[in-house]
Each structure stands twice: as C-alpha cells, then as structure tokens.
Amino acid sequence: MSKAREKNEIAAALAQCKTAFIGVAVMSGLVNILYLTGSFYMLEVYDRVIPSRSVPTLVGLSVLALVLYGFQGVLEAIRSRILARIGAALDESLSGRVFDIVVRAPLKGAVPGDGLLPLRDLDQIRSFLSGTGPSAFFDLPWMPIYVGICFLFHPYIGMAAIAGTAILAGLTFLTDRATKTPTQAATGHGLRRNGLAESGRRNAEVLAAMGMQQRLAARWSVANRDYMESHQSVADVGGGFGAGSKVFRMALQSGVLALGAWLVIHNEATAGIIIAGSILVSRALAPAELAIANWKGFVAARQSWRRLSELFAKLPASEQPHALPAPSQAISVEGVSIAPPGTARIVVQDVTFTLKAGQGVGVIGPSASGKSSLVRAMVGVWPPVRGKVRLDGAALDQWSSNDLGLHLGFLPQEVELFAGTVAENIARFEPNPPSELVIAAAQAAGVHDLILRLPEGYDSRIGEGGAGLSAGQRQRIGLARALYRDPFLVVLDEPNANLDSEGENALTQAILGVRQRGGVCVVVAHRPSALAAVDLILMMAEGRAQAFGPKDEVLKRVLRPAPAPVAAPAAAQPIANARQESA
C-alpha cells in the first residue's frame, strides 16, 4: 500500500460515495431554487393579487406555492436520508480498520485513555455526515445567487445582503478560532477521565479491598471537572456565536423591511419588494447561520478526521503475504533484541538459541530479567528491534497474523477470557468449530472434567474477562485455548501461577503432550514444578541469556545451595533453648 493511499483512507472511503454526494448536490440545488417560492409568492401577492383583487389568481398562486413547498419537503427528506446513508457507508467501510487499530495500537505503544478514541472518532465523523452540517455547506454556494437576486430587486437590498454575508463570514471565522483549542482540550480531558474510569472498573476488587475507591474517585472527579469545564467552554463559545448570528439575521431582516419601506416611500420599489426582499435576504444568510450552529460538530469531526488519518498512516493495513506451509521442524531466535512498544529502552539483548521439534525449554531468571518480553517476541506480539525469530527458516513477519495464529498457542501471565461460552473461548471464537477438537484441547489441558462440572458444561457462559470463574479455572481454560488444534509452538508464561497440585499435574502432562506430538513448548516459570516436563533451560538475567542447555546441567550450574542458617546470638540462646524445651 502506497503512502498516499495510507494517508487518504478516509478520503478514499468517501470517494466511494461520490455518486451519492453528486445526488446531494443536485438535491441541494433544487431545494435552494424552491426556497425562492416564499419570496416570489409574497411578491406576486402584493404586486399582482392585492391591486387586482383577483381571488382566482390568489387561489392559483397559493396552490402552486403549496405544490412547490411539498416538493421542497420531499427533496429535503431525500437529501437527509442520502446523507445518513453516506455516514453509514463510511462506517461500514472503515469500521474494520478502526477495530484493527484499536487492537493493534497497544502493541505499538502506550494508548491514552481507554484506547477507544478511534471508535469515537469514527462515530463523530459519521454523526456529522448524517446531520444537518453538510446540508449547510452544500447550501453555502447558493448565497451569491441569492445576493444577486437581491440586487435585481434593488441595489440597496443587494448591498445589505453583502454586508450581512460579510459579517456572518467573520462570525464563522471567529467561531472556528475560538472553539479549536477548547475542543482539543476537551478531547484530552475526556481521554484521561475515561482511562481512570476503565482502570477503576478493571481493578474494582483492589479498590474495595484496600480502601482506594474514594481516592481514585477524587482523581476521577478532577479529570471529570476539567472535561466538563472545557466542554462547557466549547458550548458557551459555540452557543454565543450561534445566538449572535441568529439575532443578527433577525435584525437584518427587520432592517431590510425598513429599507424596503423607505424605497417604496420614495417610489423606488413596489410594495411586494418590502416582504420579498426581507425573506430573500434572510434565506441568503440562512446557510451561514446554520453552518455556525453546526460549527462545533464540524470542528470535532475535523479533529477526528485528522487523528484517524494519522493512525491509519502509522498503522497501515497489513498486506496478505504469500502462504507458507505449516511449521514442523524448528524455531530459531537469532540475535534478538527487544524494546517495549513506544519506548527505546532495550530489555532483551542479543539472545540466540534454537529449539527443534519435540523439545521443551524452561525460561528462568529473576524478575525483570526479560523473560516475558522474550516470549512476546517469540509469538510475534512485540517485534524485535534487532534480529529475527524464525519458524522453519521463515521470519514471523513473513506470516499474516491469522495464518501465524493457527500454529501458535500462547498463555500470558494475565489470562483474559472473553464474554461467550467456554467452548467459544477454547476454540478462539472460530465459527462452527468441530466439537471433537474443542474437547480434545480441553482433555490435553486436563480441564475436561472441570468443564463438565460447570452448570452447562461447554455451553456455560462466562462474563467479560472470565467473570464467574476462579483464577485457576481461567488459567486452565486459557491453557486449553493455547492447545486448540495442536499448534506447533506453545508458549506458556507463568502457567502454574494460580494452579493447585491437580492443575500442576495436568500442566505437566500438557507440556509432555506437546513434545510427544512433535511440537515445541516454551515455559516461563519461577516455580520448579512447571519445569518437570522440559528438557532444556534458558537462564535470563539483566536482559541477556546467561546459560542455555540441558536442564540438569544448567540447573546444576546456575542454582547455588542455600546459605547455612546464622547461629543465634549468645543472649538469645537461652530463649531458644527454653522454647525447644517447652515444645
């Protein structure tokens, strides 16, 4: 995909609606012509009907006006429906890409707020396109035509219309300048407010247990107050300029009435010019007034457009690479260095090793030694800043995410399940998964009997994040998900953190099962029980591989005997002896 295309995905999506926009432009032209109905009707009534006192002429003009008003209403309704469908078409065209960005953005760096701003940006653009704002902009080109007709009525009326147009244009410019900064501030405060609320929702148990709810609520209140103040500032500015433009247009309409009366008094215009000119000037300024009234939505949509365009350019759509055969031989890590997304700090440096089919490696080391960062790179979650991870010689970036996922099983430290049934979670929400494969994965993870004890077995519904299940149950169902369809590479990060003895035995059997069928298993562990089924050990420290080789050899080399207990001080010895005697 070229850079030009990446930067104009929204414009390209709108270009697909070109025919619809042409239809809206045609409808707008017809509607604006029909807007002249009121002016010419009043002109004919005052200049033709009243002097002639002809009732048939009045009836004929009234019927014609009603028919034209009816056509105008139908055309405006059709225009509104077309704009609503343009917004829906834009959403349909871009919603998949926006969801892709929401999911991929956290893997590329820190995401402000709750991470859903791209979705709200798309909603903002769609809402603006579906509202009255675009109608005002389609009507704006007709303002000079109305002004020209005003000049045909009388030059003074035309000059009044030009003056009114200039003043409203100035108000529009001032509205844009005055609302730009507060709108940006409101967006920033809204992100912070939503981020705090989402953080509180996810950590509700911690807040309740440790008495932190009121303190977090105070921080949220500050963010909410800042958001409301900036939002109110935008509303005040937009409402003030909108009210000013409305009052000005009403005053100008009255002024044109007075001007028309003055012209009639001086025999420079007919009586119909008084009303017709007033209506026409008012209609000439209506698009500008409507544009000012919708300026807040226009500014918000414009900022949303810019943010989405930047995200589309930063995270271009992934192209479908050439399909590769399923890996079955080895995974190699070649001089890999890793930095967390959005940072330049290297946490894993120049790690190299190879695992062949049927092997299992335990990754050990102190906290913050780079173990979890390494396995994230091995499953393609974090791209290395240097080096390559290869499956059967093919680098991970030569696979599409969907194709690569078929050959990988990943159990992260924090197991997240999704709202749905247990079977859907195990099958990775694959449409119509074979039940025998779901059960096989559960049996491989040793969780089949546990699932059968749930109220509805495999059809038991769980809430978002695995609500309704214990931490151990979530971890074991997550293990079954990692084993679904027998992936070649299975990576388990702290898989026994929440398991009892039964769960640890099932974990050991699952690792052995992966190796026996010719897969590769990588286990990150602090507890030795998780390493029972592996044959290799990788020792990490300070982001570097300190040792790699057969389990017994590496453990003998890196594990030191515990220091002997320090003898109790002499003064404390009688107390210790007394305790032993009493015991």
Q: What is the DSSP letter of 108?
A: T
Q: Are residues 507 and 379 in the same domain?
A: yes
Whether 209 is in a domain gets the answer yes
- pTM recorded for the entire structure: 0.74
Q: Are residues 119 and 93 in the same domain?
A: yes
319 domain residue, yes or no: no
Which one is predicted more confidently, 315 or 571?
315
Rounding to the nearest 10 degrees, give the CA dihedral for residues 28, 33, 34, 35. 90
The CA distance from 152 to 137, in Å, is: 25
The DSSP letter of residue 332 is E
User: Which of 250, 285, 314 is a domain's end point?
Assistant: 314
Do the domain assignments include residue 565? no
Residues 269 and 367 in one domain: no
Strands 360-364, 408-411: pairing kind:
unpaired
Q: What are phi and psi of 548, to 5 degrees?
A: -150, 130
pLDDT tens figures, 28-73: 999 988 988 888 888 888 888 888 888 999 999 999 999 999 999 9
Answer yes or no: do 404 and 543 share one domain: yes
Which tens digits make up the pLDDT trace of 339-384?
998 888 999 999 999 999 999 999 999 989 999 999 999 999 999 9
CATH of the domain at 12: 1.20.1560.10
CATH number at residue 542: 3.40.50.300
Q: By residue range, what is the domain housing residue 293?
A: 3-314
Rounded to the nearest integer, the mean pLDDT of the chain is 85
295 and 355 share one domain: no
Residues 309 and 337 in one domain: no
Domain stop point among 288, 314, 340: 314
For the chain, percent of residues with pLDDT exceeding 90: 43
Element (H, E) at 152: helix 143-153
**Boundary of a domain, candidates 314, 346, 368:** 314
Q: Per-residue confidence at 208, pLDDT binned at 50, 70, 90? A: confident
Q: How far apart (Å, rounded) are the C-alpha atoms in residues 241 and 176?
A: 10
Token code pair at residue 230: 């900036």
Q: Model confidence over 225-277: pLDDT tens digits? A: 888 888 788 778 777 777 877 787 778 778 887 888 888 888 887 777 777 77
* CA–CA gap between residue 551 and residue 535 (Å, rounded): 5
Strand, coil or helix: what is 202?
A: helix
Q: Which of 133-137, 478-482, 506-510 has the lowest mean pLDDT?
A: 133-137
Q: Are 294 and 174 in contact (CB under 8 A)?
A: no
Q: Which of 143, 146, 145, 138 is nearest to 276 (CA)?
A: 146
pLDDT band, very low/low/confident/very high, at 528 (cuts 50, 70, 90): confident
Which amino acid is residue 512, in one-letter code?
Answer: L
Specify whether 334 is located in the same domain as 211.
no
Q: What are the tokens at 240?
A: 């003030």
Q: What b-and-e string marks burial along 331-366, b requiring 16 or more CB atoms within 10 Å of the CB? A: bbbbebbbbeeeeeebbbbebebebebebbbbbbbe
Neighbours of 576 (CB within 10 A): 11
Measured CA to CA, the distance from residue 340 to residue 373 in angstroms comes to: 8
What is the total count of domains within the chain? Answer: 2
- 308 closest CA partner among 1, 555, 14, 2: 14
Return the amino acid letter for 549: G
Asked if residue 275 and residue 386 are part of one domain, the reply reads no
Q: What are phi and psi of 318, to 5 degrees?
A: -75, 135
- Percent with pLDDT over 70 in the chain: 93
Same domain? For 347 and 290 the reply is no
Q: What's the 3-state SS for 385-448?
A: CEEEEEECCEEHHHCCHHHHHCCEEEECCCCCCCCEEHHHHHCCCCCCCCHHHHHHHHHHCCCH
Domain match, 286 and 354 both = no
Tell me, yes or no, whether 261 lies in a domain.
yes
Nearest-angstrom CA–CA distance, 33 and 46: 21
pLDDT for 149: 83
Give per-residue pLDDT as tens, 112-131.
656 788 888 999 999 999 88
Q: Mark whether 338 and 304 lie in a shared domain.
A: no
The reply to whether 578 falls in a domain is no
Domain match, 484 and 371 both: yes
pLDDT higher at 196 or 437: 437
